[in-house]
Amino acid sequence: MTLASIWAICTKVIDIAFVWLIFYYILKNIKNNVKMVLILKGIILLFAIKIISTLLNLYTIGLILEYVLEWGPLAIIVIFQPEIRNVLESIGRTQLLGRHKILTVDEREKVVYEIMDAVEYLKKNRIGALIVIERNMSLQEYIEPATKVYADLTSPLLGTIFFPNSPLHDGGVIIQGDRLTCAGAVFKTSMNPSLSKRLGTRHRAALGIAEETDALALVVSEETGRLSIASEGELHYNLTLDEFRMMLVEELKPKAEIFYNADEEGTSDKNE
């Protein structure tokens, strides 16, 4: 093989890799956006009907679908511009290395301890709270307009911020690594139609940030003291303290460590 042929193969591999990477990030962000998922399902349905109409020679429906598919992309861009913008912003916010991944095991344990100690206090006293933990995607756009704190994460600090008389208790806090970056942060609320109408603004904001980013959102209900966690576009509602702690620990683990543990379990099962 000549140097030119080797270079041609390398460029083709790089080209294909970039295409797959683009599709991966687009599909990953679409998955967490309810409206974009519905749009994608609608497009797939239209293509399916078009194929059926062609096979069965359905002239009228085929002609209508030709116009729809021809002008559909332009209509989607105009009508769903906010959703498309959110997906592109999510891709732009993605970091190669998530802030939570740099934490050591001891640091993660301390973060979990401080959060759980605060959550138990807030739950017992029926104090509402919204705690958002940044992961791979940057939350800088929510940090900028919020009140900066930049302090070590501690249970008393969380309790003080969310105390009813505090001017920051209505907003959420954002944690980066083992530091509390800001308080009084405001997040977009979820528009998911399947969400119960009984849930308040905190739960909708938690689900909203979990739909837009890969952040982990922890909620303590002010009315009932119930605990919830929003992650990857899903809201896990009314968790017990043990369930809450276990899910928090699992979600804060770096992916490499999760895969490593899964491999270890699989090996032990085989040995048995």
Query: Which is more confident, 40 or 95?
Result: 40
Which residues lie across from 174 on neighbouring strands? Answer: 132, 182
Q: Is 97 left (phi over 0), alpha (psi -120 to 50) or beta?
A: beta
Half-sphere exposure of 199 (CA within 13 A, CB side): 25
Model confidence pLDDT, tens digit, residues 214-233: 899 999 999 899 999 999 88
Domain at 99-257, CATH from 3.30.565.10, 3.40.1700.10, 3.10.129.10, 3.40.50.720: 3.40.1700.10
Mean pLDDT of the 153-177 span = 91
Q: What is the pLDDT of residue 216?
A: 95
Q: What is the pLDDT of residue 93?
A: 53
Distance CA 107, CA 102 (A): 9
Domain-wise residue ranges, the chain: 3-93, 99-257
Q: What is the pLDDT of residue 36?
A: 67
Q: What is the pLDDT of residue 74?
A: 78
Residue 256 burial (CB count, 10 A): 9
